[in-house]
Amino acid sequence: MDPRLGSNAKLSGIERLIDWSRLEPLVSPLRQGRTGRPPYAPLAMVKALYLQALYDLSDPGLEEALLDRLSFRRFCGFALDGGTPDETTLCRFRAAAAAGDVLERCFAEINRQLDAQGLVLRRGTIL
């Protein structure tokens, strides 16, 4: 397979700049998956919502992008042959993450890390 397939220099740069493991303790309590379908990994969902914010996507737009853009799937950690969350799942996860200020704390941590490196992220562009 061509290594350029699904590559996106901006997303690769963000992936390298952020220590995503620092967000794991914040997101691990979300969607434990005790009933119903197995949940998507909380960190993958936060990454998807981060992409949504960066690219100014609606929930249906993010659902479509996750189905269509290999670079988005790769960034979030969704397997190429696996499923991706639909707009309802994204909306429900965001509501749960917002209710406990988890999403705000995650985005604040991302911004803190970028700021510590002297970088500012503006809608998909690293400055």
Tokens found for residue 51:
């992409």
- Alpha-carbon distance of 123 to 127, in angstroms, equals 10
pLDDT bucket at 119, cuts 50 / 70 / 90? confident
pLDDT of the residue at 100: 83
94 pLDDT exceeds 90?
A: yes
pLDDT bucket at 41, cuts 50 / 70 / 90? very high
pTM: predicted TM-score of the whole model, two decimal places: 0.86
The overall average pLDDT reported for the chain is 87
pLDDT bucket at 1, cuts 50 / 70 / 90? low
DSSP 56: T
The residue ranges of every structural domain in the chain are: 9-22+40-126
Q: Is the dihedral of CA 117, 30, 43, 28 positive or negative?
A: positive
36: Cβ–Cβ under 8 A, 6 or more apart, which residues? none
Three-state SS for 126? strand
Reduced 3-state DSSP string for 109-125: HHHHHHHHCCCCEECCE
Beta bridge partners of 126: 121
pLDDT of the residue at 28: 85
Q: Is the dihedral of CA 54, 63, 39, 89 positive or negative?
A: positive
123 pLDDT exceeds 60?
A: no
Radius of gyration for the chain, computed over Cα atoms and rounded to the nearest angstrom: 14
pLDDT bucket at 124, cuts 50 / 70 / 90? very low
